[in-house]
Structure 1
């Protein structure tokens, strides 16, 4: 036990206070960077699997300024990579060296205040350094690995070393100052369809929709206004249309200037919106806004076109899912978590039709609390059959150890595969002490048929206090994992990640080595 001598000044050591965590697993503060060579593998990894699984976790590097009311979305981005080849797995983890993190490391304390609120930052950095955390997603495009957060531009990482190279503005062709964490890659054209919101400044209703070609240059960009400023975290893309979900998580500049949160929940709103705009050659006046029933859009699953209609799939929350945000009365944690659900919903409508009538869901396809759905990414914007998604089964208890049950929000305890064509539901649980993080689909080999492959998912093992990476046959997760890849330590719950094929990793490795040898500076 530490001994404090009366009368001596405090050393000002780093201490993390208790604050709200999204799950029991995330109550720790880990903050490490690591290399683990030749991870232990229980089972067999097919030799055809060659590539890297990248994922990112919000991981506060310093105790937050507003400790008790800090939100988990504000942690610094810490990126992990599992490199898989010939049945062997290596692991690497590095923080994204954002200007925020570098400034705070120099000061040895937090300098940035509330989530996306510059008015609460330390005067040393206020209006000088962008407080982005790059903590939401990791995607690969144009031979570049990008760490994403929706409040600014992507940050490029070396795909091999994970060292930070700097911001990406697509060779100076992007006008938008913000960039979604959920761009959509078109496997047919090689394009990356993306957007930014609040592009005219904090709490502005302005959206920028843009397309990046396979060579990393913006070829199409249009700015238009949403009916109100809100958190537009994800979207849908089809061959000819783009659809934006607009919910009641509204942004308020007045609230920010008063030192409060960037967003609040408008509980009086009795509907949501779907904003539809042509994917190519759009003008601001082309945007149309369709009303849909009350709820809270978060992540999308996929979309496609069929007989003149767009078909949209998503897990749609029945109420605010970010309980740490306040409502219009200033209340936090006002929802009853036992009553809030997130069923998979399907919409089908004519994007050229009238906006006078509210669009009703075609059906609720999977009831309960479902999140972090992933598909075979080669089918983004195309007709597909399967989604792999996480589910909370309230009837299934999680044990912290042999003597103690977890209470409260312990995380997603069930992995589900839902087949849209047949309605078949496959479920898998990994013992009585495990929860799951977002899965990712891995094609069986380069050029394999759609949805033919494997599934990777990180499991939180409460008894052991560490994580394992599970590998499943994607077509039948009920058989359990083909292999369990054991980490010698614990990770935080990640948000999103991507699988990158081995040929692309190898090309990036060669490019990285050449850049190092030539002393080439960062090119965005």
Structure 2
């Protein structure tokens, strides 16, 4: 345990250093017998004391992946570090050698290979019969589907050499992956089939080194929100914080609408200065593109604040004051105009939908709420009905700090919300984590099952449910 006055190292964020396999975990209630598969989750989990603990940012912890396997009403877990090149460098040195890129304090050491660590901590899925772990600072890492042994980098069969986003989109009709990579001001769009073969690639220039963390796609378009959160490499090279809020440099917020068939990009004024943090989904309605996501009015240090930072200051202050709320943007392709409105006043993050409705019209969205920012990051879950405008919430009780909720559809589901929500919560009494399973149609009822883990899953970012058949197919393909 790291005893430092940095929220990113304490409470639900506190690192967990044991890799283990655990079987027949205690279950309160009953796991639905139809839930056979695995919830793969990433966590941000420094494996050594950060070089400058007061400067450490949550986004920079080493990736530890958890596989929570459910079968026949029973639960077991496996957790392993993603053994990245940077992880191995620090393991050989027996201490941290990489400082904070986001909060500064040190400069990259180009005598190291690599000079900047890819923590591989942001997102995980099963694609091309491989478990892939993503972080936008590099290519994804491959792990074994059940042992979570790190197997190296995945480069889409030699087609891609640069970094790719942690927020790919999957076409539910064919399993294709839609994604992109950012290099400075350049965005490179990619479309790969379900076997990892690259089908399309286009590029365009944003004109600014924007923090482009997420995007949305429809059947014909990809939409990128280019906002005032700017990554400043010159600041990073001098040891200064590199995440800057600069609406003047970005020219406010703009939407880049890329035609997936031609690569043509249409730019549309976003009507203000804000950052879109994460998205639910997007779909086409005639000549309109409807985009649902979360928006923050400031995300990064103001330039004059950086000059005034003092030793001992909370270097995560810029992040602690981020508040994101759900919004809808409607883009009229004919007129080139955009309209938007806030769809709920319940603040939160990590929005998800039933992934079977990706790229087409959805009705329901789910997210972790952040209504009270006094102590930890999240404090409950929310379900939003985009048709009625109603937002239901699950407050915290003895458990707090839920993760992003993952929707799992019931086999043969008759409606969009017929299924379960899986989320990880932290118990401050035991300092351990629990997997909660809620019936999505009876959202604000008590969970139907609580799986008590014998470990803590440090607060992470994203995850994916993979059914048992897909895992078995992946294992079979790796033995033939």
TM over 0.5: yes
Cα distance in structure 2, aligned partners of 1:123 and 1:225: 27
Q: Aligned pair in 2 of structure 1 residues 277, 307: CA closer, same or farther (>3 Å)?
A: same
What are the Cα deviations for residues 196-246 of structure 1, in whole angstroms up to 9, with x where unaligned?
A: 012xxxxx2000001011121111001110021111000010111101111
* Residue 120 (structure 1) shift: 2.2
Show structure 1 runs of 5+ residues with no match: 1-14, 199-203, 395-406, 516-524
User: Is 1:183 aligned to 2:205, yes or no?
Assistant: no
2:312 equivalent in structure 1: none
1:120 equivalent in structure 2: 107
Q: Aligned pair in 2 of structure 1 residues 392, 23: CA closer, same or farther (>3 Å)?
A: farther
2:241 equivalent in structure 1: 261
2:335 equivalent in structure 1: 353
Q: Aligned pair in 2 of structure 1 residues 309, 178: CA closer, same or farther (>3 Å)?
A: same
Cα distance in structure 1, aligned partners of 2:331 and 2:348: 23
Does the 8 Å contact 2:55/2:316 carry over to 1?
Answer: no
Q: How many residues align?
A: 471
Cα distance in structure 1, aligned partners of 2:13 and 2:472: 37
SS in 2 for 1:435: coil
Does the 8 Å contact 1:138/1:146 carry over to 2?
Answer: yes
What are the Cα deviations for residues 99-126 of structure 1, in whole angstroms up to 9, with x where unaligned?
A: 1111111111112222278982345415
Does the 8 Å contact 2:247/2:253 carry over to 1?
Answer: no
Does the 8 Å contact 2:108/2:237 carry over to 1?
Answer: no
2:254 equivalent in structure 1: 273
Q: Aligned pair in 2 of structure 1 residues 465, 257: CA closer, same or farther (>3 Å)?
A: closer
Does the 8 Å contact 1:341/1:368 carry over to 2?
Answer: no
What are the Cα deviations for residues 381-432 of structure 1, in whole angstroms up to 9, with x where unaligned?
A: 11011011111233xxxxxxxxxxxx83323212111111122322212424
Please report the RMSD computed on the Cα atoms of aligned residues, expressed in angstroms: 2.4
* Residue 337 (structure 1) shift: 6.0
* Residue 501 (structure 1) shift: 1.1
* Residue 186 (structure 1) shift: 0.3
1:370 equivalent in structure 2: 348
1:518 equivalent in structure 2: none
User: Is 1:172 aligned to 2:126, yes or no?
Assistant: no
Does the 8 Å contact 1:415/1:427 carry over to 2?
Answer: yes
Deviates more, 1:418-427 or 1:223-232: 418-427
User: Is 1:473 aligned to 2:447, yes or no?
Assistant: no
What are the Cα deviations for residues 348-370 of structure 1, in whole angstroms up to 9, with x where unaligned?
A: 1223533xx6x331x21111321
Cα distance in structure 1, aligned partners of 2:36 and 2:205: 43
Does the 8 Å contact 1:160/1:508 carry over to 2?
Answer: no
Does the 8 Å contact 1:264/1:328 carry over to 2?
Answer: no
Larger radius of gyration: 1
SS in 1 for 2:434: strand
Does the 8 Å contact 1:25/1:493 carry over to 2?
Answer: no
Report 1:60-459 matches (<5 A): 60-115=46-101, 120-125=107-112, 128=114, 131-174=117-160, 177-198=162-183, 204-266=184-246, 271-283=252-264, 286-320=265-299, 325=301, 327-330=303-306, 331=309, 341-354=323-336, 359-361=338-340, 363-394=341-372, 408-445=374-411, 450-459=416-425
Does the 8 Å contact 1:23/1:409 carry over to 2?
Answer: no
Partner of residue 448 from structure 2, selected from 467, 476, 482: 482
Q: Aligned pair in 2 of structure 1 residues 149, 271: CA closer, same or farther (>3 Å)?
A: same
* Residue 68 (structure 1) shift: 1.9
Cα distance in structure 1, aligned partners of 2:471 and 2:252: 44
* Residue 375 (structure 1) shift: 0.6
Does the 8 Å contact 1:274/1:289 carry over to 2?
Answer: yes
Does the 8 Å contact 1:386/1:418 carry over to 2?
Answer: yes
Cα distance in structure 1, aligned partners of 2:370 and 2:74: 32
* Residue 41 (structure 1) shift: 0.7
